Chains A and B, each alone.
Chain A
Amino acid sequence: MAAPAAPAPSPYETDGLLMPKGKIDQYVLANLRRLNIQPANLCSDEVFLRRVYLDVIGTLPTAQEAEEFLKDKGADKRRALIDRLLQRPEFADYWAMRWSDLLRVRAEFPINLWPNAAQAYHRWIRDSIRDNMPYDRFVREMLTANGSNFRVGQVNFYRAVRSKTPIGIAEAVALSFMGTRADKWPEEKLAGMAQCFSKISYKPTAEWKEEIVFFDPRKPPTPITNALVLAAATSPTNAPAAAPEPPAVSPPPLKALFPDGTSVAIPPDRDPRAVFADWLITPRNPWFATTVVNRLWAWLLGRGIIHEPDDIRPDNKPVNPELLAYLEKELVIGKYDIRHILRLILNSQVYQLSSVAKSKTPEARANFASYPLRRLEAEVLIDALNQITGTTEKYSSPVPEPFTFIPEDQRSIALPDSSITSSFLELFGRPARDTGLQMERSSATTPDQRLYFLNSSHIQGKIEDGPKFRALFQTVAPDRARGSRRSGDNEKYNRSSKRDRRDRDSDRRGDSDDRDAQAPDAAPANIANALYLSILSRFPTQDELQAVTEYAEKTPSKREAAIDIAWALINSPEFLYRH
């Protein structure tokens, strides 16, 4: 079976003409022209396939999915794939993971939600994403929630804060939904907003660690800071602030200040959180839509139109204001449908540019002239490796009690809680979810990570003993594998290997059989094809095929040669980075 010829010169680009296909392309390409920056070529199908799987569902395409897509001759197959991926269950898992970083879904210190509460919070986020809850409703439900931390997942927003004071909550709200760092605001502005969160109370129940979060109209007013008293005093609509009094029979309205400077008087029977939420989610709000579309863009394209995406302030200008305004408008028109925005971006030529940059300046990167290389997130990386090798991870969390055990077939992107113990995930930059800052998740590459991938027993074990690879390697060195295993293992091994080999054959061409696979000359090429397809989602180039064949020829043990090839692909930047 011959390897299909790879597109020359690089398997990553096409030489098709770059023509704007929509508003996103128009704005970005015009901007690049103005700056005299040459955009990259469009990416190849191989690259698009892998990229869109990773970006949309945090999951690698299987060898079979890759092959089907590559063989598909349909002109509209990229659009069709995007639509299919947006409906996959992993979409909800993966985007819930991203939102959970920002919404601080964590059982332990310092956020301290407690395991069942973290799970309830995560479940609510995930289900909302799965059901495509409009984003304005998603935020409003969180901000106005009342109830048990175990039963009403979204109330945990008010528990997942560094400090459960009105100020602490206001800071979290500003960061999460307004993309701004309120600790840098004038005191008065923050204190005015904090009034909206001054009527929240927390009370325990008879159940261990259960907590009810609720709007508490009888909560005595507390002067938040002197600045607020001052603000109230200087506000034209307000009489000079009196000293706080104990709750009277008919308490005065609560005076609060929205971040845009509007002051409001909230009647005592109204939940000030709802008043705030309604102000926040109006289309005219200058922060709300901007923040979310900018975040979505940053997730897909590596950096925000305003960067950092959670540092929106007057002196941090968008690199492309027209683009940002367009996305905001689309969000409002589309009734806050997140998938609609994702679809727009994913279908753009800008998103589909190759990572082979023609201009390597920071300015080119900041203006989206190519798709930026980024290391896979910890969870995505380990899931990818498990998928390729047919292995799983065991996750548990020994503290706090009760212990949390995660079913072994659960994907890492679906883990509800960043407190789940895993040295791998920590090493590869899983955020602790302490701060809600987008940059808390690290994509840096460090020597210790390289050491781990190159040489640790964990990775070595997956490559050498993962059932999928074992089955594959057996086709080059069946005797050694059979002879070296105990009989019980042997039986299991043969069974799985037959099944796997069948899968693999149908994965490949569908017309091969076992004898072919084991023919001495065909073996290296077949192994290479299978490995490339499952690890890198493409077929090898002629040059790569030659390198692999030479390596196999000079290595005395064919099994070791196959392991080494798999090892090399798994350690290549093409596997470790989205590109």
Chain B
Amino acid sequence: MNHPYSPDIPPFADHPAPRLTRRQVLGRGAQGAAALMLADSWSVRAFGAPAAPNAKPAAKAKSVIQIWMWGGPCHLDTFDPKPGAGKDYCGPLDKPIPTNVDGIQIGQLLPELAKQADKYSIIRGMTHGINGHETASYMVQTGHRPGDGESYPTAGAVVALFKGNRDVYKGLIPPYIVLTKPQGRFSEAGFLGSRGKPFATGGDPSQTKFLVEGVVAQGITEERQQSRRSLLGRLNTLGQSVGEDPELIAASQAEKQAYDLILGDAGKVFDLSQEDKALRERYGNNKFGQCCLVARRLVERGVPYVTINYEGWDTHKGHFQIMTRKLPELDKGMATLLQDLSDRGLLESTIVWWGGEFSRTPKVQWEPPWNGGRNHFGKVFSHVVAGGGFKGGHVVGSSTETGEEVKERPVYPVDLIGSIYDLLGIDGNAKLPHPQGLAVTVMPGAAEAGTTGGKLKEIM
């Protein structure tokens, strides 16, 4: 029986079978926004505990907010400006601005983030060399290289497994939340299957009512939810006739948990009308900004992993027009998130991780059909980390004058994710549960990892 309240049932013991899983990888179909996978990610014990090797004692971070720059934003326009490279590289964005940390400059459309630079560090030597979305996304989010026949879970699924299991996480809210759409092109869960799936909210928090799929139904009042629930109980003739049955006990416990979200306090985390109006404004009156606010509310309640899948960065055409529109949105939302987390004392225990699967070609493609676009670029890109034990106000590594090569201190996905796990107290050598019982660990062993640049000791 696979539900959070049945820790005593051994794995594979009896009917019904535990959720064995899919091993999905690049190219796996989309999970609809409604793939509400809260329960399974809670019930890690169904497979036999992941040997709960959680928490080395020194864990500094409790939660992660991952701002996934879906499509790949250009480092030159954001956190690694190259004003000296000329129009062919910078386009109109050739006037970077100073930040509140001496010597650090960032893109000119990020003035609010410039005021927060003491809170974050910029990694300017990120690299993996992959230019395809799926493969690059897989590498950046799992830390593993594709190709050994296994499909590893994303960092979010791993963190939910170790920090979101019932031994350490008592919350009613699922431990791995995606705002608002899941990846689609590959499965977050990898071989963890349903136990690694995030709860994807669907909906849009900037609307009057944030319709979280399954939690908030359109047009059904709380009162009607209540009377429906009692009608459901009243009409459960089979349950009353059968009495105690392991299936039905599991079902009714699952239902109770679902109602904790629908009618109980747990679901209120998504109700942004509880927030101060001025603060909501500061986050920005748009989907991304309000997602940042929801993310803060979630980590405030102890949710270990929140991914904001921020769409729209795959700008092959009309790149600079899109940047002019989107970067201010990013700027406001992320800067307010950092400030807000800091004001509430949450930044110390919350890692904010910003970045996409790769960057975009530093050299602008002015020619048709691109007419000022940027293509995929995996050779060098920037990521940003803040909080949870990461020092602020630093720059790690650098790229060359035109941003086309790593100049100093390459950082590979495995290095960054390994550092994040360290801060969370997750042992990279810990075993992951595998459907065929293969010996697989959280992070790749030295042989599989390939080239690394080493963990981010300088900012931890």
Which A residues form the contact surface with B (CB < 8 A)?
Answer: 10-12, 108-110, 302-303, 307-308, 355-357, 360, 362, 365, 372-375, 397-400, 419-424, 426-427, 429, 431-432, 434-435, 437-452, 454-458, 460, 541, 543-544, 547-548, 551, 555, 560, 564-565, 567-569, 571-574, 576-577, 579
Complex formed: what's the CA distance from A445 to B304 in Å? Answer: 24
User: Which B residues, 221 to 243, have Cβ-Cβ distances below 8 Å to chain A?
Assistant: 224-225, 227-228, 231-232, 234-239, 241-243
In the complex with contacts A444-B3, A446-B39, A460-B232 CB distance below 8 A: no
Say if the beta carbon of B16 comes within 8 Å of chain A. Answer: yes
Minimum CB distance partner of A429 in chain B: B19
Stretch with Cβ within 8 A of A (4 or more), from B26-34, B58-66, B121-129, B379-387: B26-34
Q: B194 — which chain A residues lie within 8 A by C-beta?
A: 426-427, 429, 442, 446
Could you list some 30 contacts between A and B, CB below 8 A? A109-B23, A109-B26, A109-B28, A308-B17, A355-B242, A355-B245, A374-B15, A419-B29, A424-B32, A440-B20, A445-B3, A445-B250, A446-B38, A447-B38, A448-B37, A449-B39, A450-B254, A451-B36, A451-B261, A452-B34, A454-B214, A457-B34, A460-B218, A548-B235, A567-B228, A568-B232, A572-B237, A574-B237, A577-B238, A579-B242
Residue of A12, A544, A571, A576 touching B241 (CB-CB under 8 A)? A12
Smallest CB separation, A26 vs chain B (Å): 25
Say if the beta carbon of B199 comes within 8 Å of chain A. Answer: yes
Q: Are A357 and B17 in contact (CB under 8 A)?
A: no
Smallest CB separation, A132 vs chain B (Å): 29
Say if the beta carbon of B244 comes within 8 Å of chain A. Answer: yes
Q: A426 — which chain B residues lie within 8 A by C-beta?
A: 22, 31, 35, 194
Interface size on B, residues (CB 8 A): 80
In the complex with contacts A432-B24, A457-B218, A573-B236, A564-B30 CB distance below 8 A: no
Smallest CB separation, A551 vs chain B (Å): 5
Smallest CB separation, A564 vs chain B (Å): 5
Residue of B1, B25, B34, B234 touching A458 (CB-CB under 8 A)? B34
Known: A12-B242, A109-B25, A427-B37. 11 other contacts (CB 8 A): A109-B28, A397-B29, A423-B30, A431-B20, A432-B23, A432-B193, A434-B435, A442-B19, A447-B4, A457-B213, A460-B218
The SS class assigned to the B binding surface is: loop
In the complex with contacts A434-B23, A579-B238, A455-B217 CB distance below 8 A: yes
Which of B4, B37, B225 is packed against the most chain A CB atoms within 10 Å? Answer: B37
Q: B258 — which chain A residues lie within 8 A by C-beta?
A: 447-448, 450-451, 454-455
Say if the beta carbon of B98 comes within 8 Å of chain A. Answer: no
Minimum CB distance partner of B38 in chain A: A448
Minimum CB distance partner of B232 in chain A: A568
In the complex with contacts A399-B27, A399-B29, A444-B3, A10-B241 CB distance below 8 A: yes
Which of A373, A398, A446, A567 is packed against the most chain B CB atoms within 10 Å? Answer: A446
Complex formed: what's the CA distance from A421 to B30 in Å? Answer: 6
Q: Are A11 and B237 in contact (CB under 8 A)?
A: yes
Q: Are B248 and A441 in contact (CB under 8 A)?
A: no
Q: A108 — which chain B residues lie within 8 A by C-beta?
A: 24, 27-28
Say if the beta carbon of B8 comes within 8 Å of chain A. Answer: no
Say if the beta carbon of B21 comes within 8 Å of chain A. Answer: yes
In the complex with contacts A432-B24, A443-B16, A547-B235, A374-B247 CB distance below 8 A: yes
Q: A355 — which chain B residues lie within 8 A by C-beta?
A: 238, 242, 245
Complex formed: what's the CA distance from A312 to B37 in Å? Answer: 33
In the complex with contacts A399-B185, A435-B435, A442-B2, A423-B35 CB distance below 8 A: yes
Say if the beta carbon of B257 comes within 8 Å of chain A. Answer: yes
Q: A569 — which chain B residues lie within 8 A by C-beta?
A: 235
Q: Are A373 and B231 in contact (CB under 8 A)?
A: no
Q: A450 — which chain B residues lie within 8 A by C-beta?
A: 251, 254-255, 257-258
Smallest CB separation, B389 vs chain A (Å): 32
Q: Are B19 and A110 in contact (CB under 8 A)?
A: no
Q: Are B247 and A375 in contact (CB under 8 A)?
A: yes
Residue of B25, B232, B247 touching A445 (CB-CB under 8 A)? B247
Which of B20, B151, B220, B250 is packed against the most chain A CB atoms within 10 Å? Answer: B20
Smallest CB separation, B328 vs chain A (Å): 32
Residue of A398, A446, A448, A457 touching B217 (CB-CB under 8 A)? A457
Q: A455 — which chain B residues lie within 8 A by C-beta?
A: 214-217, 220, 225, 258, 262
Q: Are B235 and A447 in contact (CB under 8 A)?
A: no
Smallest CB separation, A43 vs chain B (Å): 11
Smallest CB separation, A278 vs chain B (Å): 31
In the complex with contacts A374-B16, A452-B214, A446-B254 CB distance below 8 A: yes
Say if the beta carbon of B103 comes within 8 Å of chain A. Answer: no
Q: A432 — which chain B residues lie within 8 A by C-beta?
A: 21-24, 193
In the complex with contacts A568-B232, A572-B238, A574-B237, A448-B214 CB distance below 8 A: yes
Complex formed: what's the CA distance from A576 to B245 in Å? Answer: 14
Q: Are B17 and A439 in contact (CB under 8 A)?
A: yes
Q: A448 — which chain B residues lie within 8 A by C-beta?
A: 36-40, 174, 199, 214, 258
Minimum CB distance partner of B5 in chain A: A447
Q: Are B238 and A574 in contact (CB under 8 A)?
A: yes
Complex formed: what's the CA distance from A398 to B31 in Å? Answer: 12
Smallest CB separation, B46 vs chain A (Å): 8
Smallest CB separation, A37 vs chain B (Å): 16
Q: A431 — which chain B residues lie within 8 A by C-beta?
A: 20, 22
Say if the beta carbon of B7 comes within 8 Å of chain A. Answer: no
Complex formed: what's the CA distance from A450 to B1 in Å? Answer: 15
Say if the beta carbon of B458 comes within 8 Å of chain A. Answer: no
Q: Are B242 and A357 in contact (CB under 8 A)?
A: yes
Q: Are B3 and A572 in contact (CB under 8 A)?
A: no
Complex formed: what's the CA distance from A208 to B185 in Å? Answer: 23
Minimum CB distance partner of A543 in chain B: B237
Q: Are B262 and A572 in contact (CB under 8 A)?
A: no
Say if the beta carbon of B14 comes within 8 Å of chain A. Answer: yes
Which of A398, A426, A444 is packed against the most chain B CB atoms within 10 Å? Answer: A444
Complex formed: what's the CA distance from A374 to B245 in Å? Answer: 11
Which of A373, A460, A576 is packed against the most chain B CB atoms within 10 Å? Answer: A373
Minimum CB distance partner of B14 in chain A: A362
The 3 closest A-B pairs by CB, nearest first: A432-B22, A421-B29, A439-B17
Complex formed: what's the CA distance from A454 to B225 in Å? Answer: 9
Minimum CB distance partner of B225 in chain A: A455
Q: Are B247 and A373 in contact (CB under 8 A)?
A: yes
Complex formed: what's the CA distance from A445 to B243 in Å? Answer: 17
Complex formed: what's the CA distance from A426 to B220 in Å? Answer: 26
Complex formed: what's the CA distance from A419 to B22 in Å? Answer: 10
Q: B436 — which chain A residues lie within 8 A by C-beta?
A: 435
Q: Are B17 and A438 in contact (CB under 8 A)?
A: yes
Q: Are A439 and B34 in contact (CB under 8 A)?
A: no
Q: Are A456 and B214 in contact (CB under 8 A)?
A: yes
Q: Are B16 and A555 in contact (CB under 8 A)?
A: no
In the complex with contacts A373-B242, A420-B29, A573-B248, A446-B3 CB distance below 8 A: yes
Q: A303 — which chain B residues lie within 8 A by C-beta?
A: 14-15
Q: Are B232 and A423 in contact (CB under 8 A)?
A: no
Complex formed: what's the CA distance from A195 to B162 in Å? Answer: 43
Smallest CB separation, B236 vs chain A (Å): 6
Residue of A439, A451, A544 touching B20 (CB-CB under 8 A)? A439
Say if the beta carbon of B12 comes within 8 Å of chain A. Answer: yes
In the complex with contacts A400-B27, A569-B235, A451-B16 CB distance below 8 A: no
Smallest CB separation, B454 vs chain A (Å): 31
Say if the beta carbon of B18 comes within 8 Å of chain A. Answer: yes
Say if the beta carbon of B368 comes within 8 Å of chain A. Answer: no
Complex formed: what's the CA distance from A308 to B258 in Å? Answer: 31
Say if the beta carbon of B369 comes within 8 Å of chain A. Answer: no
Say if the beta carbon of B149 comes within 8 Å of chain A. Answer: yes
Q: A458 — which chain B residues lie within 8 A by C-beta?
A: 34
Smallest CB separation, B437 vs chain A (Å): 9
Q: Are B14 and A460 in contact (CB under 8 A)?
A: no
Minimum CB distance partner of A311 in chain B: B12
Say if the beta carbon of B460 comes within 8 Å of chain A. Answer: no
Minimum CB distance partner of A360 in chain B: B244
Q: B227 — which chain A residues lie within 8 A by C-beta?
A: 551, 555, 564
Complex formed: what's the CA distance from A446 to B3 in Å? Answer: 6
Say if the beta carbon of B211 comes within 8 Å of chain A. Answer: yes
